[in-house]
Structure 1
Amino acid sequence: MQRIVYLESASMIADVRRPSFAHVWEEYPRTSPEQVVDRLAGATIAIINKVPLPAAAVHALPDLKMVAVAATGTNIVDLEACKARGIVVSNIRGYAEHTVPEHVLALILALSRNLFAWRATVQAGGWQQSGQFCLFDHPIRDLHGATLGLIGSGSLGNGVVRLAEAFGMRVLRAERRATATVRPGYTAFAEVLAEADVISLHCPLTPETLGLIGEAELRQMKRSALLINTARGGIVDEPALVRALKEGWIGGAGFDVLSAEPPPAGHPMVDPELLALPNFLLTPHVAWASRPAMQALADQLIANIEAFVAGTPQNRVI
């Protein structure tokens, strides 16, 4: 009989149905890294989301046969260790193809139209004391005619393209940074950095993408450009971004992810001075979290587990 242990049931709000085969189900709302091995002892199937499953944990769990990741990103799993053990790792795909792109566009619109600066102006009485029907305190930029640079693609990136083109934006898909040959339909990485009015990140966090956007890349961007990250925090050098925003290297940034989540005290991206800037918006990793998207995730999660037990694993990462 399969023993399924769900380590982070509080990480989504959805009706998670039980698999159709005979099994033992155990779940915990939250699990710390130090608790992983003890809680997965004897488990044949582990359901995880953001708690790490390093090689040491994989080696300490001889009964483990499948890791069902309740997310698209799998950087928290040591895939090589799982591969060496023959452990199937499956992830979730396509569930957020509407909700994440909508969040991306919300961040872009709020920053482009300076909505938070305008809100502060009204709160301070600026409109009430203006003497005319409108104000011109803060610049407003249209998306129509602007250029979106897309780094990474997949269903989320393609969803952003669909919405951006509906607003009349020109889209440039960036080629990989270290690639000399540019594929048809793509644009050289450096050229995208230089030309884009908005850059949106949609690549996984891997050794190749860790720190992909650092000081050199931020300085290549337009001084008016916006950087949007709904992918993974480690893709951007966060101290460099803080400097870029405070010193005006770029026009603004909208982030839904950080390198450490939740951010600990002293994390540079939750510095009160930074959060007070009208051209920086930070949301707590919720771009994916509409109720319909979370339910789609939960349904696909159980479908992945059932497919594995039936001998036809799907959405395999390795």
Structure 2
Amino acid sequence: MSETIVFLDHETLGPEVTMRRPSFSHGWEVHGKTTADQVLERAREASILIVNKVPLREPVLDQLPNLKFVAVAATGTDNVDLAACRRRGIPVSNVQAYAVHTVPEHTFSLILALRRSLMAYRESVASGAWQRAAQFTLLDHPIRDLHGSTLGIVGEGAIGQAVAALGRAFGMQVLFSAHKGSTGMGPLYTPFEEVLERSDVLTLHCPLTPQTRDLLGAAEFSRMRRRPIVVNTARGGLIVEADLVQALESGQIAGAAVDAVSVEPPPPDHPFMRLAKRPDFILTPHVGWASREARQEVADQVTACIEAFVAGQPRNLVT
């Protein structure tokens, strides 16, 4: 029996990525973008759905009687109602370990840019401040080494571990945070509150779950004694965004870099947009994952997951 495969948001992989079609008999339907109100119409006949960020919620799943498998073209699966899929016997797979180079590299690009005030110095050069200084150097903005500083990491998976390796290469002391509110995780972990207090750079690499939503808010920012740089290249919902703005504007933190927002793209009145021109704030459009090499790996893994499912040997299952 031929499978009907529908990819709802292929444009998220970019035009230069080639997606190999599965080797078995199948129908193939690709949509560049799909809005929430288009999902049902486009997915109605699908036995296999591919999604990246398109939401699959229970009311829609209720109306997809042919659906047998969901392949998520990402590691995060918070856009899919996993419990509803589980109740219906619909396996869901994701892609894994594809971003172990691209996200850490993007993370350290942001850390270095803030730690060395690169955005501020670029603006100073463009505005003529270097010429007005009339000397070989310009020292208008803070410059700090990473060597000897403390890197706090929330999230101990493959990406968190890769970020730790880069931190150690820079000569940083690395602290892996215990889960917020948890005790007894062992000597490899530092209590969450202590990581907040000791870090010069705090970076988030954990999934968005009910337990991690709003992980950082006003109470947590108030404990950041060393005025760290805060970096989030994971999920927008991990941070109370208005509280981050307040922490930066009040000087509780020295800088912030964000690659994921709770609403993407953020609307013009989003609190982050009023920070967009500050030299101590960097907002990138969810591209930390998106090196060409990583996106090709995503496409390759999606096809492999679909073929494994049809062969009766599913892989990368999350439910």
Residue correspondence of structure 1 range 46-85 to structure 2 within 5 A: 46-85=49-88
Q: Does 1:21 align with 2:24?
A: yes
Distance 1:112 1:222 in 2: 17
| Paired residue secondary structure (1:216) | helix
Deviation, structure 1 residue 42: 1.5
Residue equivalent to 1:295: 296
Q: Does 1:257 align with 2:260?
A: yes
CA contact (8 A) 2:153 2:205 kept: yes
Does 2:214 match 1:211?
A: yes
Say yes or no: does 1:130 pair with 2:133: yes
Cα RMSD (Å): 0.9
Letter in 2 for 1:6: F
Q: Name the SS for the 1:16 alignment partner.
A: coil
Which residue in the other structure is 2:196 paired with?
193
Alignment pair present for 1:236 and 2:246: no
- 2:170 paired residue number: 167
Cα displacement (A) at 1:153: 2.0
Structure 2 length normalisation: TM-score? 0.97
Contact 2:199 2:226 in 1 (8 A): no
Q: Secondary structure of the equivalent of 1:158?
A: helix
TM-score by length of structure 1 reads: 0.98
Mapped to 2, the partners of 1:147 and 1:175 lie a distance apart of 16
Query: Tell me, what secondary structure is at the counterpart of 2:4?
Result: strand
Q: Distance in 1 between matches of 2:64 and 2:171?
A: 52
Structure 1 residue 223, shift from structure 2 partner: 4.9
Match of 1:86 among 89, 104, 109: 89
Aligned to 1:176: 179
Structure 1: gaps of 5 or more residues: none
Conserved in 1, the CA contact under 8 Å of 2:115 and 2:146? yes
- The 3-state SS of whatever aligns with 1:127 is helix
| Paired AA for residue 188 in structure 1 | P
Residues 197 and 222 of structure 1 are in contact (CA less than 8 Å); yes or no, is this contact kept in structure 2? no
> Any conservation in 2 of the 1:145–1:170 contact (CA below 8 Å)?
yes
Whichever residue aligns with residue 29 of structure 2, its letter is E
Which residue of structure 1 aligns with residue 317 of structure 2?
316
2:110 corresponding residue in structure 1? 107
Identity of aligned residues (%): 53
Task: Measure the CA separation in 2 of the matches of 1:173 and 1:208.
Answer: 17
Q: Secondary structure at the match of 1:254?
A: strand
> How far does residue 105 in structure 1 lie from its aligned partner after superposition?
0.3
CA contact (8 A) 1:40 1:61 kept: yes
Q: Deviation per CA, 1:233-260, whole angstroms, max 9, x where unpaired?
A: 0000000011111111110101100000
Residue 312 (structure 1) shift = 0.5
Structure 2 runs not aligned, ≥5 long? none
Runs (4 or more) in structure 1 with deviation over 2 Å come to none
Shift of 1:178: 1.4
- Letter matched to residue 25 of structure 1: W
